[in-house]
Amino acid sequence: MLKIHPFLWFDDKAEEAMRFYCSIFPNSKVNKVSVMPDTTTGEPGDIMTVECELDGLSVTALNAGPGDPFNTSMSLYVETADQAETDKYWNALLADGGVPKPCGWLVDRFGVYWQVAPRAMLELFDDPDRKAAARAFGAMLNMGKIELKEIERAFRGK
């Protein structure tokens, strides 16, 4: 069976990052930590990969030294139920050095890009009233963290 899941390349913080993410998302756990083979450079016992589940999503993290940094071309999307959940994940992912970005995006302290947004926002963007949807989308473009009430207000034309 084909299994597709994110595989994230870190310089040397794979385990720290995965344990951080597991502390944020419910139903998450580290499943396996593997060390580098003896034939590689580095110290004996250095962590090579960390396999975990983030609320049911399998994610593998690799310590491979400096490589291409993460960027906006690939992000992890957190679909939230409401504003409280949006705030919870937004604040948790920004903790200890994350950087907020426009339109519900952020970069966590490990350099991974995330999008945190409520499902209701996407439903407004897809509404058959295209003018209202455009107003909602325009409101989102002026935000860092998504503020659903402001998007709903713009959708209603207020």
Q: How far apart are CA 35 and CA 88, in angstroms?
A: 33
Structural domain spans, the chain:
7-63, 76-155
User: Residue length, the chain?
Assistant: 158
Q: What is the CATH number of domain 76-155?
A: 3.10.180.10
pLDDT digits (tens, 9 = 90+) for 64-82: 888 888 998 999 999 999 9
Q: What is the DSSP letter of 112?
A: -
What CATH number should be reported for the domain whose range is 7-63? 3.30.720.100
Report pLDDT digits (tens) over 128-139.
999 999 999 999
Distance CA 88, CA 71 (A): 23
Q: Find the distance separating the first CA and the last CA of the chain, reported in whole Å.
A: 50
Q: pTM here?
A: 0.92
Q: Are 77 and 114 in contact (CB under 8 A)?
A: yes
